[in-house]
């Protein structure tokens, strides 16, 4: 683990956290008098799922797909395809007009939000498939910490400014994921 490892995974975490950041903005807007404890709960739920999903993806690669060595050479292509798909989807979601969102910040609603915003992070398990368990765990931990910070800030900004910048956050996150996908692809192919 070196500086590049932490930089790459921090950027990956930032890219993945943009959906959760946008939802955190909406949560802050829905509850302008939100307490710090609930702000931490919101950020913690999003961080937990952003940590869990890539770890589950990594475990899947090392249990089910481990027996199919053919996939080893395909991992850079899979990573590029998945991150391009997610990145482009995030950019499109950031550009198209939003419908009115309901405030779903009860605990059950928060869990659903956490799962919904982290499903795409499951595919990150494929992008970190070459990592050892320790490296994968630390990478997922970095992603979780970055998500916690982004979502905590998102709730605070949402309280103050609303969701006007949420689309821009999705566009930014999509661009980051596309760049990381290209970097992983070029590193794996060259």
pLDDT digits (tens, 9 = 90+) for 96-131: 765 554 444 678 878 888 887 787 788 788 778 889
Spatial distance between the Cα atoms of 21 and 27, rounded to a whole number of angstroms: 10
pTM over 0.75: no
- Rounded Cα–Cα distance for residues 105 and 151 (Å): 13
Sign of the torsion angle spanned by Cα atoms 162, 48, 57, 129? positive
Confidence band for 49, pLDDT divided at 50, 70 and 90: very high
The dihedral formed by the CA atoms of 178, 179, 181 and 182, expressed in degrees to the nearest 10: 120
Per-residue pLDDT, 52 = 95
DSSP 90-137: HHHHHHSPPPPPP---SHHHHHHHHHHHHGGGGGHHHHTTTS-HHHHH
The answer to whether 10 touches 142, Cβ cutoff 8 Å, is: yes
**Which residues lie closer than 8 Å to 147 by C-beta, 6 or more apart?**
13, 16, 17, 20, 43, 46, 47, 50, 51
Interval 59-110: pLDDT, tens: 988 887 666 556 667 767 776 777 777 778 778 877 776 555 444 467 887 8
């Amino acid at each position: 683990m070196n500086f590049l490892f932490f930089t790459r995974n921090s950027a990956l975490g930032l890219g993945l956290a943009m959906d959760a950041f946008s939802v955190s903005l909406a949560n802050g807007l829905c509850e302008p008098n939100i307490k710090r404890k609930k702000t931490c709960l919101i950020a913690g739920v999003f961080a937990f799922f952003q940590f869990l999903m890539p770890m589950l993806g990594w475990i899947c690669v090392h249990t089910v797909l481990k027996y199919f060595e053919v996939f080893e050479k395909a991992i850079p292509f899979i990573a590029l395809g998945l991150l391009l798909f997610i990145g482009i989807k995030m950019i499109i979601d950031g550009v198209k007009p939003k419908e009115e969102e309901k405030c779903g910040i009860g605990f059950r609603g928060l869990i659903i939000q956490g799962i919904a915003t982290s499903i795409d992070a499951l595919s990150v398990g494929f992008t970190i498939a070459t990592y050892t368990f320790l490296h994968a765990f630390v990478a997922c931990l970095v992603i979780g910490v970055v998500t916690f910070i982004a979502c905590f800030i998102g709730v605070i900004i949402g309280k103050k400014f609303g969701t006007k910048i949420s689309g821009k956050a999705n566009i930014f996150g999509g661009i980051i994921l596309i760049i990381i996908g290209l970097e992983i692809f070029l590193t794996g192919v060259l």
